[in-house]
Structure 1
């Protein structure tokens, strides 16, 4: 049986929404996903679609 606690739920937040003033709508895009904290010890960065910016941007892991 697998040991509990290997996977944790993280939140990914758009990096351009904080500084971009010419957005389609106000707000910050956030996605939730899981990661294995044993294999991925650092902060995760993924390119995801941001509906506020209306384009694919880098989303970084937040606490």
Structure 2
């Protein structure tokens, strides 16, 4: 059985640059600071459903 994946979207431009495995134990959406190749800088990326 394969794991479901969710995308991480950039908070500034909205592009979905990264994907991670879904964690059902996580109560709130994950927020991490990652590099966005479209903005050209490090921004907050939020988990999308």
Match of 1:11 in 2: 7
- The question of whether the paired residues in 2 share the 8 Å contact of 1:13 and 1:59 is answered with yes
Q: For residues 13-61 of structure 1, give each alpha carbon's deviation from its aligned partner in whole angstroms, at most 9, with x where no partner exists.
A: 001114xxxxxxxxx24210124221x2211111110001101000011
- The question of whether the paired residues in 2 share the 8 Å contact of 1:17 and 1:29 is answered with no
For 1:1-63, what aligned pairs fall within 5 Å after superposition? 8-18=4-14, 28-38=15-25, 40-63=26-49
* 4+ aligned runs moved over 6 Å, structure 1: none
Q: Which runs of 5+ in 1 are unaligned?
A: 19-27
Tell me the number of residue pairs that the alignment of Structure 1 and Structure 2 aligns: 48
Normalized against structure 2, the TM-score is what? Answer: 0.76
Larger Rg over CA atoms: 1
Structure with bigger strand share is 2
